[in-house]
Structure formats: C-alpha cells, structure tokens
C-alpha cells in the first residue's frame, strides 16, 4: 500500500503581499523529522501553483506532479505568485522580476519549516524564467535547476510571435481575463492530442473557481524584454527539458543558453510526444523519469 | 543494498560469462556476454546492451575489468546485475580476435559489428539492441547505426568526436601520424595507459588503474593494438553522419575530455534528426568515463536513458 501523502498550506510575506504556499510530502514532518530533499515547483503565466502541479483529474490517476515527487521521497512545495491563485492581487502586473522576490519570500518559509537552506527548483514556461532568475540572484538557495518549456532570447519562437500581436492588450492592463476556452487553447496550440481528453477541462474548472484573470507581467516580459536570464550567472547543475512540440522557443535558442552555462553538470533533453505543458501530457511519465534521474544523480566521490 | 561507490545494486550472485565467436571473412571475432538469470527474470524488459570498445583497449579490458580490492570496475557486471543482457566484442586485431595485417579502421569495426549481430540475435532472440560506444567505439557504433538502423534500438555515445575541429587530443595525436601509418600496430603497456588516464587531468582515476589495465590487456590480447582508428581520427573525420541516425541518442561528455570541443559535440547533437535525444555533461569525468572514480555518475545516466519509459501514445 502506498504511503500516505501529507499536505499543508503556508503563507509567505513579501512586504505586505501575502503569498499562498502548498506543501506535500510522505509523512507529517512533526513526527517524521528525517530531512527530505526539497523540490520547489514554480508555475508559469496562466495558472496557479496547486492547480498546475497538484491537479486531481476524475478517473485519471497520476496527474499531480506534487504527489508523484512526494512519493519519490521529496518534500515538494509550490507557491502562487503575486496576483495568482490564492495570493494577494495588487496593482502590479507580476513580472518575472517580482516572481524572483516571491520565491525569496517562499524560500524563507521553507528554511524556517525544513531547516534546509537550498532547494532544487523546477519551473515551467515563465516559471522557468522565474526559477532561473532566482538561481542567478540567490545561488546559495538553489542546488539544482530544472528548466522546462524554457525560452532564452525568444528569437523565432512561434508562440511568442503570435503572442506579441496582442502586445497593446498586455500593456493596457495589469491583468488579462482567462476563461475556459483560453485554458483549453494552451493544450492544443502546439499539437492537439498530446494531452488526454478531460485534463485541460479539469484544469480550467479548478482554476476558474479561484480566479477569472491573471497578471500580464510575464507575457509582457516574454514578448518584449527577453532575455531576462543570464546563463553565465547560473552556477548549479542544470537540466533543460524540451517537449518535442513546444513552440515557446526554438531548439537553437535553448542550445545557445545551454552552451553558455558555466557549470559542467548540465543536461539538455528533448522528449518526443510532449508539448508545452509537459507535466500534464499523455507522456508525462517520460518527463518524470528524466527529472527524477537528474535529481537523484549520485554525487562525485572525489568531493565527498 | 547498493554499492556506495557506484550507487548501483550489488552483484546478484549469479552473473554468467559466456564466450561466443563471429566470423567476418577469415577473421575470427571474439564476443563476450554477461547476464544474470535472476536479474533478467526480475527485469524482463531490459534490453540487450552491446558495448563497443575504443582504440586502445580490447573489450574486456575496457568493460569487464577486475581490480581486486578496488570496488566494481566492470560495466558488464554492473549492468548484468541491473538485468541487462550485456555483450561486447574484440574488433579485428584486438584481444582474442584474429590479429591480421590490417589496420582495423572504423569502417572495419562497423563490418565487425555486422558480423556479430546475427550471433547476438541467435542467442538472445532479439533483432535490435542498445549500443554503447566510447571514443572510437562511439564512432564504430555510430557508423553501425548509419549502416544498419534496423539493428539499433538506442545509441549511447561517450567521449564522442565528430569533425575533430579544435580537439586538443587529436591535435597532439596527429603529430605522430607518420608513426601510426608506418605500422599497423602499436604497443600498449602500463606507460601508455598512464598517459591515457592522465592526459586530460590527473586524479580522476585510481593510481592502480594503469597497471591493472596493462595486465588485463596483456592477458587478453598480448599488449598491442591496431592503428586504424588513430589514423581515422587524425585525418578522416567525420566518419559518422548524424543526419542518418534514426534512433534515440544520448551523448555523454566528461568535463575534462580533450577528444572534442563542446562546439563539435553540440554540432553533432543539433544535426540529429530524431527528437528523442539527450546531451549529458557530467563533471568529475575525463576521457575514460567507464573506469574513472566517478563512473557511478556515468552508470546512473546510462541506466536512466536506457530505462526511459516508452510513449503511451504509440
């Protein structure tokens, strides 16, 4: 029988902005005090942390990335960035740079609760930009970095070319409305069929219960401010994962970033059968496998 | 229980070693197989893994080395313990295979593997296998994947060089091109292995390794190897066409490997048409990733790639 997964809500504070955090692991930490490696999941532009990473799809098991990695032995956390999900909405548009401050506030909570000062960070899409920028700003808090559905300069990216056509709309307001049709479009824009029927619908239902608009800051950043990350400033081991059909970046753009990373512990993995939202795709088990293998790589015997 | 050095499961206790022979024209080619009936039964989906040796070691020196008291140095035993059906072969002029007057070039190595494949198929019942090659073994394996794509399920290339442009090791090696061409063989002894293990960086192999490798090579093949792959790597690159490799590929590169530049390896990776591909760079590794002190990190990556779940939509 599978071990029971324990969960709890937390709140981080960024100034007077309250940020919602969600944690899952096997065993109540009040009783099970043995430290587990911390994995911090960073959400992207269009849906909040628990909705994306802890999705429970009726009659379809194994859609929660948090449950999966908790079962692998990790202490898994996520956070709703400013203006998303259960976190405070402000007059700001929650750009990438604000996301870095959010993650710092979240990391303070993790340090307080776990006693661990560094975590492995996973980010998807603009969440990967937030996570990479955080690793640059606070290298002492990032021991490994996984960048999924990442984009560096944005040069030639089909999704961003399309998105930039609405730049006036993204800059006219600090939020953009989201509805069911929009959420469904995320899962079909690259390659229809890479996600099971019912997954996008469940995600839409879940997210629309808590919001009907999300901030525009990351869209503005990705259309007009790239690059927002400097690979030469990232020092920890890095895994770049790319779904075969992801239109958010070209392969050349990602390899350029990869080549500039100074660390010699780095991996570039392309996974067929996946699109932009790898962790909710039909072939997500292949994504889990790659991510788990990277996180569990043995250390160097000459540095122990 | 896992081995604290390699982070791999301990020996299941029933690992077999079998000798087989292939024939290419009048050349006898030595094949060696390791597997564990217990581990195979527990992991029936694990594939046949065929290991292709490089320029300076015969097969069992490279992949089945025994260094008493120094932990597990055999890639064959480790992967047999994980459930793989592990094979390797001595190419023409190496180890127990016929020592001819030829140079045993990369192209000859591809023909050797063509001759071996039916033997492996006959014993295992499998028509296609996963291939791992290191250094010129990666070129042989890549060349075979070009020539016989139906035989190659997955391809793992370690210590790979493509065009050779800017390669420190090959620049140095090319200074002796007349020597490599003057004879079809060169001596490999403890001094030669000491140089191979320390040419990139020192400290990433144990001090006992050169003597152990020299003894194994003397026992396996008499202490000399052909020059063909050295000549190919100095003057005939590229010998593998990435655009004609159809299967999933992992390229594994140690941080101190002087056989190629990052740019050269990235160029090969970019040119691969199959979108099922991985480029893995790992620190604490030099040219010979399989027998370095951090070989556990390489084994972890290799097992991870070979153990990737299949697509549910196919």
A256 at B interface, C-beta within 8 A: no
pLDDT of B69 reads 86
pLDDT of B8 reads 65
Interchain proximity B278–A302, CB inside 8 Å: no
Contacts of A266 in chain B (CB under 8 A): 281
Coil vs helix vs strand at B54: coil
pLDDT greater than 90 at residue A123:
yes
pLDDT greater than 80 at residue B179:
yes
Interchain proximity B304–A289, CB inside 8 Å: yes
A235 at B interface, C-beta within 8 A: no
Model confidence pLDDT, tens digit, residues A171-180? 999 999 999 9
The answer to whether A70 and A34 have CB atoms below 8 angstroms apart is no
pLDDT greater than 80 at residue B4:
no
Interchain proximity A266–B262, CB inside 8 Å: no
Tell me: domain B16-306, CATH 3.40.630.30, correct? no
Model confidence pLDDT, tens digit, residues B205-228? 999 999 999 999 999 888 999 999
Q: Point out the residue among B5, B309, B312 whose CB comes nearest to the CB of A301.
A: B5
Mutation site for A-interface testing, chosen from B281, B291, B298 by largest number of A Cβ within 10 Å: B281
CA nearest to A51, candidates A190, A210, A267:
A210
pLDDT of A304 reads 72
Please report the residues numbered 266 through 285 in chain A whose beta carbons come closer than 8 angstroms to any beta carbon of chain B: 266-273, 282-283, 285
pLDDT greater than 70 at residue B280:
yes
Superfamily of domain A5-297: Alpha/Beta hydrolase fold, catalytic domain (3.40.50.1820)
Model confidence pLDDT, tens digit, residues B62-72? 999 999 888 88
Model confidence pLDDT, tens digit, residues A91-120? 999 999 999 999 999 999 999 999 999 999
pLDDT greater than 70 at residue B2:
no
Question: Residue for token digits 């090959």?
Answer: B170
Please state, for a pLDDT cut of 90, what percent of chain A lies above it.
Answer: 96
The answer to whether A101 and A89 have CB atoms below 8 angstroms apart is no
pLDDT of B221 reads 84
CA nearest to A45, candidates A161, A175, A228:
A175
pLDDT greater than 90 at residue A183:
yes
Interchain proximity A302–B293, CB inside 8 Å: yes
Residue A138 binned pLDDT confidence (cut-offs 50, 70, 90): very high
Residue B7 binned pLDDT confidence (cut-offs 50, 70, 90): low
Interchain proximity B276–A285, CB inside 8 Å: no
Q: Alpha-carbon distance B37 to B43, whole Å? A: 10
Q: Point out the residue among A193, A244, A302 whose CB comes nearest to the CB of B275.
A: A244
Interchain proximity A270–B312, CB inside 8 Å: no
The neighbour count for residue B255, using CB atoms within 10 Å, is 18
The DSSP secondary structure of B256-309, one letter per residue, reads T-TTS-HHHHHHHHHH---S-EEEEEESS--S-GGGSTTHHHHHHHHHHHHTPP
- Nearest chain B residue to A244 by CA distance is B275
Contacts of A252 in chain B (CB under 8 A): 270
pLDDT of B3 reads 66
Residue A238 binned pLDDT confidence (cut-offs 50, 70, 90): very high
A68 at B interface, C-beta within 8 A: no
Contacts of B277 in chain A (CB under 8 A): 269-270
The answer to whether A111 and A203 have CB atoms below 8 angstroms apart is no
Mean pLDDT for the stretch of residues B136-152: 98
The neighbour count for residue A303, using CB atoms within 10 Å, is 8
Helix (H) or strand (E) holding B137: helix B136-147
Contacts of B276 in chain A (CB under 8 A): 244, 270-272
Q: Classify strands B48-52 and A17-26 as parallel, antiparallel or unpaired.
A: unpaired
Using left for φ > 0, alpha for ψ between -120 and 50, and beta otherwise, residue B32 falls in beta
Residue A1 binned pLDDT confidence (cut-offs 50, 70, 90): very low
Residue A2 binned pLDDT confidence (cut-offs 50, 70, 90): low
Model confidence pLDDT, tens digit, residues B86-111? 999 999 999 999 999 999 999 999 99
């Amino acid at each position: 029988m599978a071990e029971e997964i324990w969960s709890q809500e937390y709140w981080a504070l960024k100034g007077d902005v309250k940020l919602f955090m969600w944690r899952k692991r096997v065993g109540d930490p009040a009783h099970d005090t043995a430290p587990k490696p911390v994995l911090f999941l960073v959400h992207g532009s269009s849906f909040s942390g628990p909705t994306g990473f802890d999705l429970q799809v009726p009659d379809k098991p194994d859609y929660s990335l948090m449950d999966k990695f908790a079962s692998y032995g990790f202490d898994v956390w996520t956070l709703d960035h400013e203006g998303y999900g259960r976190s405070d909405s402000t007059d700001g548009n929650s750009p990438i740079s604000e996301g870095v401050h959010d993650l710092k506030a979240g990391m303070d909570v993790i340090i307080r609760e776990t006693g661990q000062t560094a975590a492995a960070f996973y980010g998807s899409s603009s969440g990967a930009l937030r996570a990479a920028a955080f690793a640059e700003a606070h290298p002492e808090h990032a021991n490994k970095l996984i960048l999924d559905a990442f984009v560096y300069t944005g040069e030639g990216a089909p999704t961003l070319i399309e998105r930039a056509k609405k730049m006036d709309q993204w800059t006219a307001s600090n939020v953009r409305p989201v509805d069911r049709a929009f959420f469904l479009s995320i899962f079909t824009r690259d390659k229809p069929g890479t996600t099971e029927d019912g997954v996008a619908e469940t995600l839409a239902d879940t997210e629309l219960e808590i919001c009907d608009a999300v901030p525009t800051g990351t869209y503005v950043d990705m259309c007009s401010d790239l690059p927002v990350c400097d690979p030469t400033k990232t020092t920890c081991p890095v895994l770049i994962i790319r779904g075969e059909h992801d239109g958010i970046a070209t392969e050349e753009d990602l390899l350029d970033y990869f080549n500039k990373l100074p660390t010699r512990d780095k991996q570039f993995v392309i996974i067929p059968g996946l699109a932009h939202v790898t962790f909710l795709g039909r072939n997500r088990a292949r994504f889990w496998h790659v991510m788990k293998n990277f996180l569990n790589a043995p250390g160097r015997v000459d540095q122990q | 229980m896992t081995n604290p050095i390699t982070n791999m499961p301990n020996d299941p206790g029933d690992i077999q070693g079998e000798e087989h022979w292939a024939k290419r024209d009048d050349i006898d080619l030595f094949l060696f197989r390791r597997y564990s009936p217990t581990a195979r039964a527990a992991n029936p989906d694990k594939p046949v893994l065929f290991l292709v040796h490089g320029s300076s070691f015969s097969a069992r020196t490279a992949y089945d080395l025994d260094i008493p008291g120094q932990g597990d140095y055999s890639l064959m035993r480790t992967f047999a313990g994980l459930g793989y059906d592990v094979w390797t072969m001595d190419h023409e002029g190496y180890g127990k295979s016929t020592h001819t007057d030829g140079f045993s070039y990369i192209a000859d190595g591809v023909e050797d593997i063509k001759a071996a494949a039916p033997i492996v198929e006959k014993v295992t019942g499998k028509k296609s296998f996963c291939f791992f090659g290191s250094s010129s073994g990666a070129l042989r394996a890549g060349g075979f994947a070009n020539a016989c794509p139906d035989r190659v399920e997955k391809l793992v290339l370690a210590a790979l060089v493509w065009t050779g442009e800017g390669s420190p090791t090959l620049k140095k090696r090319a200074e002796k091109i007349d020597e490599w061409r003057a004879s079809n063989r060169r001596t490999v002894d403890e001094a030669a292995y000491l140089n191979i293990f320390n040419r990139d960086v020192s400290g990433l192999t144990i001090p006992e390794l050169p003597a152990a490798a020299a003894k194994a090579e003397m026992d396996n093949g008499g202490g000399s190897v052909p020059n063909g792959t050295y000549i190919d790597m100095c003057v005939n690159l590229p010998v593998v066409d990435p655009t004609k490799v159809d299967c999933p590929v992992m390229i594994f590169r140690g941080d101190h490997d002087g056989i190629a530049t990052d740019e050269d390896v990235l160029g090969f990776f970019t040119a691969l048409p199959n979108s099922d591909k991985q480029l893995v760079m790992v620190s604490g590794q030099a040219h010979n990733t399989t027998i370095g002190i951090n070989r556990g990190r390489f084994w972890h990556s290799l097992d991870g790639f070979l153990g990737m779940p299949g697509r549910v939509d196919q």
